[in-house]
Amino acid sequence: MERSSTRASFAAVRQLVLPVGAAVFVLAALAAVVAAARQTGSGDAPPTPGAMQLPRIAAYATFTVERVEPGRLVVSGGSVSELPVGAETRAWRLEPADADAVQTGAAIAIIGVPNEVRNAAIRAIIVGDPGSPGPAGPFGGHEALGERFALPMVVGTVVRVEEGRAVIRTGAGEATAWPGEGAPVFRVREVEVDDIRPGDRVGVLLDRDGRPDPGRGLLVMRGE
């Protein structure tokens, strides 16, 4: 699988399902991976995987930017038609990368859609700066994908990369993933709000009343 453009990259993310062989990160039976990591060295018999526990995530909404105007973004696809923004508004942009972006020390979030057999179809691998608490500030990394059931399945720090595998330290133990050519990797970087363009998708966290709260930041990615 090759990505000749940002558009092609995102199309690959939307269409990707497991299994897809060595071309993507393989995270079959995610709950079992974490359980096995916690029980490493406890015996020869593999642990019995339990039920997949979905992570708790902040509520969010996804919009498409129609126009960029002074002090606001005119948007579609959600409960409001505009988002107030200013010079102080923080924004993080997801940009297509490749497996080489997965380096020791990087913050990482693996975004997937769980299914009934404890597998996950991988939609994106978000890589952030070393030392950051999460790849994209307050965001999980899935908020701008525009896919309702996508979740951050594994979140942590890459502790080593060797022989084609990346070992990720998470709050529940270590998980292992195998990157390959064509993996749907995105590097995240903080940008000025002026970087946002018509056609971009933006993820916005919601406040306690369920209203978009752009004051907490925006997660941005190029639209199709």
- DSSP code per residue over the chain: ----SHHHHHHHHHH--S--GGGS----SHHHHHHHHHTTTS-SSPPPP----PPP---EEEEEEEEEETTEEEEESSS-SEEE--TT--EEEEEE--GGG--TT-EEEEEEEE-TTS-EEEEEEEE--TT-SSTBTTB-S-TTS--TT-EEEEEEEEEEEETTEEEEEETTEEEEE---TT--EEEEEEE-GGG--TT-EEEEEB-TTS-B-GGG-EEEE---
Q: Flag whether pLDDT at 32 surpasses 70.
A: no
Q: Flag whether pLDDT at 181 surpasses 90.
A: no
Cα–Cα nearest to 190, from 150, 138, 152, 143: 138
pLDDT in tens, 150-177: 999 999 999 999 988 999 999 889 998 8
Q: What is the CA radius of gyration of the chain?
A: 18
Cα–Cα nearest to 25, from 133, 124, 131, 157: 124
pLDDT in tens, 53-94: 445 568 999 999 999 999 999 999 988 999 999 999 999 999
The model carries a pTM of 0.74
pLDDT in tens, 91-147: 999 999 999 999 999 999 999 998 776 677 889 999 998 877 788 989 999 999 989
